[in-house]
Structure 1
Amino acid sequence: MAHELGTADLQPTADGSLTLRSHRFGQTYGSAHGAETQARHVFVGGTGVAVQRRARVLEIGFGVGQNLRSTLVVCDRRPLDYLAYEYDPVPAEVLVQLSGGASGNGAGANHPVWQELMLAWPPPVGGELTIGVQEQRLRVRCLDVLSAELPQGWATTVYLDGFSPEANPELWSDEFLLRVAGALAPGGVLATYSAAGRVRRALVAAGLDVEKRPGPPGKREFLRAEKPVDRP
């Protein structure tokens, strides 16, 4: 049974990880079929971040940090620069509960970067929270990503993980996805759980090579998009 937490409900998912239900959008932050499984399959696996020597990750929608924790597991102590945008951060005590998982030992929760983040959370409104541990840097910006400046040609990896196009259409507009594509470095890869036709068409129009891939449990397909190396 879900635990009432005011703005969202703490809920177990099929793989033992936890997620939240957003009252504002009427959806959970992660898949009920397995929030951690979705993060590993779509975002970590779909982008190949685990094999990048020095990953530069741009995340659209930090949410409850599941994608970050899954990335920290595969990157371990290798160089990592992770930049996330989150307009409405969840309360610190909620983030702590979520990172533990249903078993009390969620994947990535013991990583030094995550531990430092738990001490510093939340980011200042309109500002940035920065965590640095050896060759790994995390920045979480508490800004409206729709109007915020994105780093152009910077990201080797983009996690596009906002609420669905039906619930939050502005985040999936042609104009915004063009801006997100511009943040990718040549050869960089974007992954999103959405396989909607209009999302695929917008990514193609933004100059990316897009393919559908088999999805995680509960999802038939997801999208992987790559910026060709011969395009700026």
Structure 2
Amino acid sequence: MTNPEPSGPDAAAVLVTPDGSRTALNARFGEAYGSRHGAAAQARHVFLEGTGTHAHPAPRVLEVGFGVGVNARATLAGAAARGVPLAYHAFEFDPAPRALLREVARGGEGAEHPAWLALLEAWPEGGGGHGELEVTAGGAVLRVTFADVLTASLPDGWATALYLDGFSPSRNPEVWTPAFTARLARALAVGGVLGTYSAAGHVRRSLAAAGLRVERRPGAPGKRECLRAVREA
């Protein structure tokens, strides 16, 4: 099902997925920002549960590809439900319009979290933008850096979890290369876990070459497998 009302330079339509959550189509890459088979289900299964963020006492999350904020909202909601502090830092090269973020979030989990509402207020109205936004509310620090993550400075040894949620390797190959995944591995704290929806062979090999212990997991709806990769001591 689609709702054609929202529009922007890269968004053709909001997509309502089978679990009732929403994502949107990105016209530049010709793909949806999240799973068409269940955007919220993918956020929970691949990213929160896949990285152990759903049970961590004080998660520090680094996200590659903020998109329309589905993973961020799910993580905010999970931390709030458990009453634990959250530090969340996402990178986004091409921010979607504020109206699109608001429409995708409507009625969804985390949509009323104070950090999400504060981020929407500060978000560039028509998308685009540069620099970064940071808000602190509801026990969470939520930061979005508007930059090309391929050349941006990443925190060293900081993240307890890393959400690798770029567009698919066939459409956006640069974020899946051995050189970049090696940089991501260094951003993980010891014991930190990278989660991604892709289970492609070259992605597994890139993560393993970066020194991570790679594990296959059952995929979210619509995918047979996904990956988790652990930075060991």
The reply to whether TM is greater than 0.5 is yes
**Hey, what's the Cα distance between the residues in 2 that align with 1:124 and 1:130?**
16
Helix, strand or coil for the counterpart of 1:83? strand
Give 2:123's aligned residue. 121
**Hey, what's the Cα distance between the residues in 2 that align with 1:188 and 1:161?**
16
1:110 to 109, 112, 115: 112
Single out whichever of 72-81 and 159-168 deviates more from structure 2.
72-81
2:134 to 130, 133, 136: 130
Q: Work out whether 1:42 is the aligned partner of 2:43.
A: no
1:164 to 145, 168, 175: 168
Q: Work out whether 1:3 is the aligned partner of 2:4.
A: yes
Q: Work out whether 1:215 is the aligned partner of 2:216.
A: no
Output the aligned Cα RMSD. Answer: 1.3
Unaligned runs of 5+ in 1: none
Task: Spell out, residue by residue over 1:50-78, the C-alpha distance to the aligned partner (whole angstroms, 9 max, x if none).
Answer: 21111110000000000011111110042
Counterpart mapping for 1:138-157 below 5 A: 138-157=142-161
Check conservation: 1:212, 1:222, Cα contact below 8 A: yes
Helix, strand or coil for the counterpart of 2:175? helix
Unaligned runs of 5+ in 2: none
Give 1:84's aligned residue. 90
Q: How many residues align?
A: 225
Task: Spell out, residue by residue over 1:155-192, the C-alpha distance to the aligned partner (whole angstroms, 9 max, x if none).
Answer: 00000000000000011111001001110000000000
1:3 partner letter: P
Report the CA distance between 1:2 and its aligned residue: 4.1
Scaled by the length of structure 1, the TM-score of the pair is: 0.94
Scaled by the length of structure 2, the TM-score of the pair is: 0.93
Q: Work out whether 1:94 is the aligned partner of 2:100.
A: yes
1:179 to 156, 180, 183: 183
Report the CA distance between 1:135 and its aligned residue: 3.8
Helix, strand or coil for the counterpart of 1:69? helix
Which portions of structure 1, spanning 4 or more consecutive aligned residues, are displaced by more than 6 angstroms? none
2:92 partner letter: E
Single out whichever of 122-131 and 180-189 deviates more from structure 2.
122-131
**Hey, what's the Cα distance between the residues in 2 that align with 1:118 and 1:186?**
33
Give 1:203's aligned residue. 207
1:89 partner letter: P
**Hey, what's the Cα distance between the residues in 1 that align with 2:36 and 2:54?**
24
Give 1:191's aligned residue. 195
Check conservation: 2:181, 2:210, Cα contact below 8 A: yes
2:31 to 27, 32, 35: 27
**Hey, what's the Cα distance between the residues in 1 that align with 2:172 and 2:85?**
33
Identity, % of aligned pairs? 54
Check conservation: 2:160, 2:189, Cα contact below 8 A: yes
Helix, strand or coil for the counterpart of 2:48? helix
